[in-house]
């Protein structure tokens, strides 16, 4: 199984290297956005947890009005400032919505500010996404939080680390795909990808230990509800917008036509920064790694030592993905069960993305199925 010897993949190699380099620069961009405070909102965010805890909706509305007014007189628009402004305006909007108040109804230029900034950064949705709350959220005393709970800081920290780990994992998976499956470079890059993914497991373990379903469901999740911008409601950030979407796509999703998956993939992919969308377009229409492996198995030809190593490394990454997804699914499920107990069994419970547990279970099941295929291939190697 030689990926780069397929004509289509061969022509992708320079593009994969270029995209991997651009991806490698994302950390510095996120850092610059985290450091920026174009609306002078640092002080407001020191007060926001208190305002939320006292349900001081008038105080939140005034704070939002103030940042929206400042947004209208920014001396210059640039990508970094616009991105920081989207983060700050949206978190104040999310706070108002938590108390049942539509920000666009109570702060006149709220929608316009978000539309202008989103258009400037060429975002496909006019509000914040998961990366704003995590990798583009400043650290330490400037960290933007909805509450003063230590658990929210644990949550953000786990997600932020997870995002960085996934970037590095994705970069390695992409670089691996620029080499033949039967090369030592493929296996080496998959090994690095697997090492990076460990942080996702550590994060979910820490979050599971540190945050009870009651704290998440009652204190944190309510700040992640849709709000209106213009005449449309846009859902809040969610974990479904992590670059694990790209990793799945390369491993098994690129040629998967299940409607549940394609709907979920498209709806969440457009909320990621442009580089992830470009990566996804590059792999769209290609055969996924699992399909290539199945074709290779079907040929009945014995695997070379290098191929064996590559399958082993792919198998290890899938094992780690499973070791994250299984406990994560339980955490998500515990929260759904709690909400159903409180609101009634027949109540349909959605995550902040607007998708339910079905999609989270689907990606877990796909991971299990892929692992069965790599297992089968490994037994064939012996
Ligand atoms: C209290 C802890 C957590 C809860 C209750 C929770 C809940 C959920 C829910 C309900 C979803 C479905 C999509 C949606 O939000 O609408 C989801 C998706 C997701 N979450 Fe979490 N989550 C938690 C912590 C984490 C952590 C710590 C990470 C990563 C470090 C994470 C990563 C993901 C990912 C990657 C998805 C997409 C599904 C997948 O690819 O497996 N979550 N989460």
- CA-closest residue to ligand 1 atom 5: 332
The CA 107 to ligand 1 mean position distance, Å, reads: 31
Task: Quickly state the pLDDT bin for 12 (edges 50, 70, 90).
Answer: confident
In this prediction the pTM is 0.96
Instruction: Report residue 377 as tokens.
Output: 């291939």
- For the CA of 238, the closest atom of ligand 1 is 15
Q: What is the pLDDT of residue 344?
A: 75
- Asked if residue 335 has its Cβ within 6 Å of ligand 1, the reply is yes
Q: Which element (helix H / strand E) includes 233? A: strand 232-234
Q: What is the pLDDT of residue 28?
A: 97
What mean pLDDT do residues 221-240 have? 97
Residue 230 has pLDDT above 50, yes or no: yes
Residue 350 has pLDDT above 90, yes or no: no
What mean pLDDT do residues 248-263 have? 97
Q: Which of 328, 350, 351, 355 is the pocket-test mutation for ligand 1 (most atoms within 8 Å of CB)?
A: 328
Is residue 306 classed exposed, middle or buried when 0-12, 13-18 and 19+ CB atoms within 10 A define those classes?
Answer: middle
Span 125-178, pLDDT tens digits: 999 999 999 999 999 999 999 999 999 999 999 999 999 999 999 999 999 999
As a whole number of angstroms, the distance between CA 181 and CA 196 comes to 20
Radius of gyration of the chain (CA): 22
- Asked if residue 114 has its Cβ within 6 Å of ligand 1, the reply is no
Task: Quickly state the pLDDT bin for 10 (edges 50, 70, 90).
Answer: low
- Domains in the chain, please, with CATH? 7-25+149-381 (1.20.58.480), 36-128 (1.20.58.1320)
Span 295-333, pLDDT tens digits: 999 999 999 999 999 999 999 999 999 999 999 999 999
- Asked if residue 158 has its Cβ within 6 Å of ligand 1, the reply is yes
End-to-end CA distance of the chain: 18
- For the CA of 161, the closest atom of ligand 1 is 30
Q: What is the pLDDT of residue 307?
A: 96
Residue with tokens 């230029």: 109
The CA 328 to ligand 1 mean position distance, Å, reads: 7
């Amino acid at each position: 199984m030689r990926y780069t010897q397929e004509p289509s993949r061969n022509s992708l190699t320079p593009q994969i290297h270029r995209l991997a380099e651009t991806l490698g620069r994302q950390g510095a961009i996120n850092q610059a956005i985290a450091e920026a405070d174009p609306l002078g909102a640092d002080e407001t965010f020191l007060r926001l947890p208190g305002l939320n805890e006292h349900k001081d909706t008038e105080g939140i509305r005034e704070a939002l009005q103030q940042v929206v007014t400042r947004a209208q007189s920014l001396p210059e628009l640039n990508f970094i400032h616009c991105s920081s402004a989207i983060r700050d305006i949206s978190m104040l909007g999310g706070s108002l919505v938590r108390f049942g108040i539509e920000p666009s109804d109570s702060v006149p230029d709220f929608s316009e500010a978000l539309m202008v900034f989103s258009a400037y950064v060429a975002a496909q949705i006019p509000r914040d996404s998961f990366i704003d709350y995590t990798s583009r959220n400043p650290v330490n005393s400037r960290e933007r939080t909805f509450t003063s709970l230590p658990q929210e800081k644990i949550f953000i920290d786990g997600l932020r680390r997870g995002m960085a780990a996934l970037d590095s994992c994705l970069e390695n998976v992409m670089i691996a795909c620029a080499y033949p499956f039967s090369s030592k470079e493929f296996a080496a890059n998959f090994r690095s990808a697997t090492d990076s993914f460990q942080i996702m497991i550590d994060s979910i373990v820490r979050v599971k230990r540190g945050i009870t379903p009651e704290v998440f469901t009652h204190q944190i999740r309510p700040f992640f509800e849709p709000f209106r911008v213009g005449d449309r409601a846009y859902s809040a950030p969610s974990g479904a917008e992590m670059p694990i979407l790209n990793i799945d796509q390369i491993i098994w999703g690129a040629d998967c036509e299940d409607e549940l998956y394609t709907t979920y993939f498209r709806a969440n992919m457009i909320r990621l920064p442009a580089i992830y969308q470009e990566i996804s377009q590059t792999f769209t229409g290609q055969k996924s790694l699992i399909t290539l492996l199945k074709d290779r198995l079907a040929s009945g030809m014995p695997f070379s030592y290098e191929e064996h190593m590559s399958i082993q490394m792919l198998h290890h990454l899938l094992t780690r993905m499973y070791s994250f997804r299984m406990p994560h699914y339980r955490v998500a499920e515990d929260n759904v069960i709690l909400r159903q107990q409180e609101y009634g069994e027949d109540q349909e419970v959605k995550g902040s993305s607007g998708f339910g547990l079905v999609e989270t279970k689907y990606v877990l099941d796909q991971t299990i199925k892929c692992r069965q295929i790599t297992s089968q291939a490994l037994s064939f190697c012996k």
